Amino acid sequence: MSAAKTIVVLDGLFDDLAIEEKVAAGNGWSIARWDGGEAMLAAAELVVHVRTKIDRAMLARLPACRVVGRFGTGLDSVDQLAAAERDIRVVGIRDYCIPELASHTLALAFALDRRVDAIRAGRLSPDVSWQEVAAKQPMPGRTRAVVIGFGSIGKTVTRALIALGLDVRVVTEHGADEVRRLRASPVALEAGLADAGFVFLHAALGAETAGMINGARLALMASDAILVNTARIGLMDEIAAAAALGAGKIGGLGLDAKLAADSPLRPFVSDERMLLTPHVGWYSERSARELRRRTIQESIDAYKDVKTARAEKVGGPR
């Protein structure tokens, strides 16, 4: 009997690999963390990762690789063009954290809308009146939202907002008919930004969407609009967002991301108009288990598909 093939974990989510090992063993594979050496990379046919940059240089160190799996949905950590040139399948895990991320998104939006953080920061006594709160904390009553991106999270957020009675516009290149079936309205990006009280970013990060919320588009938004980004921070121009906050040109920013040490948004971390969470919107114990299990299983399934396709190509049509 041949030895089990090994999945190389370039970097993982947790200190243990119990879940990953169980799934791998059930498929006749083993699991090993990358030891940092070149020999392990050279022999690896299947690797999984979270943060490791899988660029051309890294792919050149993986000559036997057939599948790259990622513990997550986004694949911006992988040079997909370079992977395609090497006939390497790239696997991301979709739809594993829909309730977690959608509820986290709405929590940021409504906490900013209702000024929860600002009110609590005032250390109000139990006897304070609503009139006193209203006099200090503006609450314009936002009733229109634009959702940018109509994948699983965008759809879930759209449905929730409609259920709450908001007028929802959706920016999407595909799915306009489904948008209408939900009783929302398809809209162009600039038009959607111009009259929204809430702006929700749910687009995938890529060459066309990087920095899509820039200075010009922020200027289209109402000065009391709330922007929530629980997708990728790279969808925003951080310099422009910081400038808008500094000039009072945006009502609030909800962000689920790890800020770089030199991020221009860092000075606003304690500002009541910004709520920052450390890229935790995807997480629950349930979603973490699901992500770990599916990353290994779907990567192995992709490996099987690749091997089958190669065998048929070599053998010709049956």
- Average pLDDT on 241-246 reads 97
The pLDDT score that the predictor gives to residue 310 is 77
**157 within 8 A of 102, measured Cβ to Cβ:** yes
Chain position carrying tokens 């959706």: 170
Q: What is the pLDDT of residue 318?
A: 43
For the domain spanning 5-95+285-315, the CATH number is 3.40.50.720
Please say whether the beta carbons of 253 and 259 come within 8 A: no
CATH 3.40.50.720 corresponds to the domain 98-277: yes
Kindly state the DSSP code that residue 260 receives in the 8-state scheme. P
**Residue 205: how many other CB atoms lie within 10 Å:** 18
Q: Is 316 helix (H, G, I), strand (E, B) or coil?
A: coil
Question: For 279-290, how does the pLDDT look when each residue is reduced to its tens digit (9 = 90+)?
Answer: 999 999 999 999
Portion of the chain with pLDDT greater than 70, in percent? 96
More confident position, 196 or 1: 196
d(CA 68, CA 59): 10
What digits encode the pLDDT tens for the residues 262-282?
999 999 999 989 999 999 999
In this predicted structure, the answer to whether residue 316 has a pLDDT above a threshold of 70 is no
In the prediction, which pLDDT does 81 show?
A: 96
C-alpha to C-alpha distance for 192 and 280, rounded to whole angstroms? 28
Q: 146 - beta bridge partners?
A: 169, 199
Percent residues over pLDDT 90 in the chain: 83
Question: Which residues are CB-contacts of 291 (< 8 A; sequence separation ≥ 6)?
Answer: 13, 71, 72, 93, 96, 97, 282
Whether 5-95+285-315 shares its CATH topology with 98-277 is answered yes
Q: Which helix (H) or strand (E) holds 78?
A: none
Q: Please, what is the average pLDDT of the chain?
A: 93
Query: What is the distance between the alpha carbons of residues 69 and 55, in angstroms, rounded to a whole number?
Result: 14
User: What pLDDT score was predicted for residue 127?
Assistant: 78
Residues 223-233 have a mean pLDDT of 96
- Give me the pLDDT at residue 1, please: 41
Measured distance CA(133)–CA(115) in Å, rounded:
10
pLDDT tens digits for 38-78? 999 999 999 999 999 999 999 999 999 999 999 999 898 99
Give the pLDDT band (50/70/90) at residue 2: low
Give 112-164 pLDDT, tens digit per residue.
999 887 777 766 677 778 787 777 777 888 999 999 999 999 999 999 999 99
Please report the pLDDT score of residue 117 as a whole number: 79
Domain positions in the chain? 5-95+285-315, 98-277
More confident residue, 113 or 206: 113
